[in-house]
């Protein structure tokens, strides 16, 4: 898949992520990645999982 933002500038750049908000494919130049600690309900409480998860967004949704 190609980066949508690069394609608008007539460039062909492979995408590295998909925006979690609008769903377009973006390259590393046009994406912002934040980390979150995933939480999961276990029994009556919640637990925070060990490894941080990544959330990628495009430059528009950042």
Which residues here bind Zn ion, judged by CB under 5 A? Answer: 3, 5-6, 13, 19, 21-22, 27, 29-30, 58, 61
35: exposed, middle or buried (C-beta count within 10 Å: 0-12, 13-18, 19+)? exposed
Q: How many CB atoms lie within 10 A of CB 13?
A: 18
Nearer to Zn ion, 5 or 17 (CB): 5
Q: State the minimum distance, in angstroms, from the CB of residue 34 to Zn ion.
A: 13
Q: State the minimum distance, in angstroms, from the CB of residue 14 to Zn ion.
A: 9
Q: State the minimum distance, in angstroms, from the CB of residue 55 to Zn ion.
A: 11
Q: How many CB atoms lie within 10 A of CB 41?
A: 8
């Amino acid at each position: 898949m190609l980066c949508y933002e690069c394609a608008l500038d007539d460039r062909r750049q492979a995408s590295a992520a998909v925006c979690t908000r609008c769903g377009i494919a973006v390259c590393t130049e046009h994406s912002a990645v934040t980390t979150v600690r995933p939480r999961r309900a276990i029994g009556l409480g919640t637990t925070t999982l060990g490894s941080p998860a990544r959330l990628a967004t495009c430059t528009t949704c950042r």
